[in-house]
Structure 1
Amino acid sequence: MDFGIFNLMTLRDPAKSRREMIEETTRLVLQAEEIGIDVAWFAEHHFSNYSVCPSPLLMAAHMAGKTSKIDVGAAVLVLPLYHPMRVAQEVALLDIQSDGRARVGLGSGYQKHEFDRYGVSLDDRAEMTLEYWDVLEQMLHTGRVAYEGKHFRVAETEFSLRPVQERIGPFYVTGNNPEIVRRTAASGSVMFMTAGYAGSKGLFAIYDRVCETLRKQNIDPATLKTGIQQYIHVTDSKEQALQAADCARYVARLVTALRQPVTEVDGFMIREVPIADEPPLETFRDNLIIGDAHHVAERMAEELRRLNPSHYNCFFQFGAMPYAMTKGSMERFARDVVPLLEKEVGPLDRIGRGRDALAA
């Protein structure tokens, strides 16, 4: 198992400089590289303050030039919003720019607010994702594409760009469409799962649904590679824990608004309103992995034993959390949490290799 840092880049104060946000993200990625995080992921969202990053590949290329060891990638590319021939070339270019450090996450998207503004039907997203995935695989693995599908057709085309990696992969895939789940397992890709503020119990429920989907298709769930994303904040302060919970609640309110048929915005700022039947702030704190080092290690160990992931993506700066809070939490994570976690579950490089390795 390896670790990631997820960079959503949410804007809570519209007066905050976007340049400052990029500089903060850069400093956090450099810190992540220093403490041994394996990959920096960048989100893709459009036309709202939920994220000011419309291009994860641009952010990854920017960070590739400022780092030397950490992998950089998109979590995730919303494939229906791209022309597949262009995104395939840009992924190859990122791998060249980073000297083989590119990672690729794929997703079908879910925000009608974004799809409407690109003129793409949300109803077609699964079909489009599967076709565009074909194109991306052909280009990255063979250097040429010829395709005849429902949503995309192209005569045989050879590319001048080839990635440094002989075979970029595995892909990290989000989505609950049964065919996407099936293909993820069959292709050896990683099922990338996050449950938002539902936390560990939510992750377990998602994993169980994915396994049931695979069983219905006569696929052994044990063959599935899993990656999980979780909110992490390490603090001994009860007050700071609640402040982190407030940041998580802010994300949850924005996501809920973006899942509505019409997202209410003031310009580009999503109107923040409480979720229907919203739980108290303490529930956000308790669902997520927020607390002292021992608490964080114990909760993470529970997830590792239950899910055996090959990748654990840490969402450190969520809900526009102040930079100093995030930096301090990351320092505590590396210094205090990781050693405790290894005492709980053993060497982390054995996690994600199969149930036998986890139990040994």
Structure 2
Amino acid sequence: MEFGLFCLMGYREPGTATAAIYDAAVAQVQAAEEAGFATAWFAEHHFSNYCVCPSPLMMVARCAGETQRIRLASGVVIAPLYNPARLLSEIGMADALTHGRLVLGLGSGYQPYEFERFAEPLDDSVAKLVEFMDMLDAAFAGDCFTHAGPHYVLPETHIAPRPPQGVPDIWIAGDNPALHRVAARRGHAVMVTPRHYSAALLAAARARIAESWRAEGRDPQGMRFAALRPCCVTDDSDEADAFLEQTRFQIRLSQSLRFREQALAGAMLVEKPWAGEPTLAEMARHMLVGPAAHVAARLAEEIRAADPCHYLLQFQVGGSRTPQALRSIARFAGEVVPLLERMVGPLAGIGQRAPVTA
């Protein structure tokens, strides 16, 4: 079991400076490294205030020089929106800039709003991602490779920036059975989103993915399964309520983009409820928001129900503030983890200070 930091990098107040959003993410990554988190993840989305990070690999490159130990991860690269030859080169370069700390999260995408503006058919996205993974394997297996597939053709090509260890560790995002089967065949980890907001929903998601592993003749006991969770460690009930409301705002934007129901007021997405939306009281019962003991108990419940190997914890959601996120990161490592270890046993490394290198 490991913990990572997830940075979505959205905003709620019109006119928020993007430079400030990126700097806030860097500050959280540095705090997470100091606290002993294993990985920092950076999202990719386009054309809205839901997320202003169009290139997670650029954030990886920025943080490579700001950190020393923490792994740096795309969470995730939406591969169908890229020229594959360029993406292969940028993956190799990001791995070199991090000195091998790159974790490669890949996804097929889900927002029609984005794909339409790239003139890309969303219906082809899963097939293109799978084909890109074939290219990725070939690109770093030898000095040169060629590819001729349904969507991409590449003559004999040498990708100059080359990870010395080969293809970085790959994690696949989404709740898509076709991608789950690909992950099973290749042994990649799978991540699911905050929509699985309770232990029961998370366990059901794991069960669906386990069926894909069985269908591929693989033992689900070997499956790496990760969950993305908003998290706020606070003893202030008003602060907890405000964080839950910000979380609901963020999920509302995501759901409207998922189902092509988005509306814009100028440059800002309009917030609207989604079908089956839980109440804030329901969210409060299940989410990792509240005093350290509450957060630890919820985590223990989820770990027992769904056995994740990794959590991507988002400490800044919607329009919540960076100081609050930094306090939560410190309290999670210093207070939540010791309580959680009493409930479920030792965890990997969290809470230990990052080593200092010259």
- Which TM class, normalised by the smaller chain length? over 0.9
* Matched residue SS, 2:225: strand
Structure 1 residues 253 and 312: alpha-carbon distance in aligned structure 2, compared to 1, 3 A threshold? same
Counterpart in the other structure of 1:72: 72
Tell me the number of residue pairs that the alignment of Structure 1 and Structure 2 aligns: 350
Q: CA deviation at 1:216?
A: 4.0
Structure 1 residues 266 and 316: alpha-carbon distance in aligned structure 2, compared to 1, 3 A threshold? same
Counterpart in the other structure of 1:248: 247
The 8 Å contact of residues 40 and 70 in structure 1, kept in 2 or not, is answered as: yes
Counterpart in the other structure of 1:114: 114
* Matched residue SS, 1:209: helix
Q: CA deviation at 1:197?
A: 6.4
Counterpart in the other structure of 2:355: none
The 8 Å contact of residues 107 and 173 in structure 1, kept in 2 or not, is answered as: yes
CA distance, structure 1, for counterparts of residue 11 and residue 86 of structure 2:
29
Equivalent residue letter for 1:66: E
- Alignment map for 1:132-147 (pairs within 5 Å): 132-147=132-147
**In the TM superposition, what whole-angstrom CA distance separates every residue of 1:127-179 from its partner, at most 9, and x where no partner exists?**
11100111122223434332111001112212222114x13432010133333
The 8 Å contact of residues 79 and 107 in structure 1, kept in 2 or not, is answered as: yes
The 8 Å contact of residues 30 and 67 in structure 1, kept in 2 or not, is answered as: yes
Of stretches 283-292 and 137-146 in structure 1, the one that deviates more from structure 2 is 137-146
Structure 1 residues 169 and 74: alpha-carbon distance in aligned structure 2, compared to 1, 3 A threshold? same
Counterpart in the other structure of 1:169: 168
CA distance, structure 2, for counterparts of residue 61 and residue 259 of structure 1:
29
Q: CA deviation at 1:277?
A: 5.2
Counterpart in the other structure of 2:221: 222
Of stretches 55-64 and 276-285 in structure 1, the one that deviates more from structure 2 is 276-285
Q: CA deviation at 1:286?
A: 2.0
Of stretches 337-346 and 276-285 in structure 1, the one that deviates more from structure 2 is 276-285
* Matched residue SS, 2:181: helix
The 8 Å contact of residues 146 and 155 in structure 2, kept in 1 or not, is answered as: yes
Q: CA deviation at 1:217?
A: 4.4
Does 2:35 align with 1:35?
yes
CA distance, structure 2, for counterparts of residue 240 and residue 116 of structure 1:
38
TM-score using structure 2 length: 0.92
Counterpart in the other structure of 1:98: 98
Q: CA deviation at 1:63?
A: 0.8
- Alignment map for 1:190-339 (pairs within 5 Å): 190-196=189-195, 198-276=197-275, 278-339=277-338
Equivalent residue letter for 1:215: R
The 8 Å contact of residues 199 and 306 in structure 2, kept in 1 or not, is answered as: no
CA distance, structure 2, for counterparts of residue 174 and residue 93 of structure 1:
22
Q: CA deviation at 1:321?
A: 1.3
CA distance, structure 2, for counterparts of residue 170 and residue 183 of structure 1:
15
Does 2:9 align with 1:9?
yes
Q: CA deviation at 1:4?
A: 0.8
CA distance, structure 2, for counterparts of residue 136 and residue 277 of structure 1:
39
Q: CA deviation at 1:262?
A: 4.5
* Matched residue SS, 2:6: strand
Counterpart in the other structure of 1:54: 54
Does 2:115 align with 1:149?
no
Equivalent residue letter for 1:112: P
**In the TM superposition, what whole-angstrom CA distance separates every residue of 1:294-335 from its partner, at most 9, and x where no partner exists?**
111121122222333332211111223111211111111011
CA distance, structure 1, for counterparts of residue 140 and residue 264 of structure 2:
39
The 8 Å contact of residues 232 and 315 in structure 1, kept in 2 or not, is answered as: yes
**In the TM superposition, what whole-angstrom CA distance separates every residue of 1:212-265 from its partner, at most 9, and x where no partner exists?**
333344443223221221121111121111111101110111012102235211
TM-score using structure 1 length: 0.92
Q: CA deviation at 1:22?
A: 1.4
Equivalent residue letter for 2:22: I
Higher RCO by CA contacts (8 Å cutoff, separation 6 or greater): 2
Q: CA deviation at 1:105?
A: 0.2
* Matched residue SS, 2:311: strand
Counterpart in the other structure of 1:22: 22
Counterpart in the other structure of 2:185: 186
* Matched residue SS, 1:12: coil
Of stretches 315-324 and 46-55 in structure 1, the one that deviates more from structure 2 is 315-324
* Matched residue SS, 2:348: helix
The 8 Å contact of residues 184 and 216 in structure 2, kept in 1 or not, is answered as: no
Instruction: Give the unaligned 5+ runs of structure 1.
Output: 351-360
* Matched residue SS, 1:198: coil
Q: CA deviation at 1:290?
A: 0.9
CA distance, structure 1, for counterparts of residue 327 and residue 333 of structure 2:
10
The 8 Å contact of residues 225 and 309 in structure 1, kept in 2 or not, is answered as: yes
CA distance, structure 1, for counterparts of residue 207 and residue 196 of structure 2:
18
CA distance, structure 1, for counterparts of residue 276 and residue 99 of structure 2:
49
Equivalent residue letter for 2:332: F
Instruction: Give the unaligned 5+ runs of structure 2.
Output: 350-358
CA distance, structure 2, for counterparts of residue 197 and residue 212 of structure 1:
18
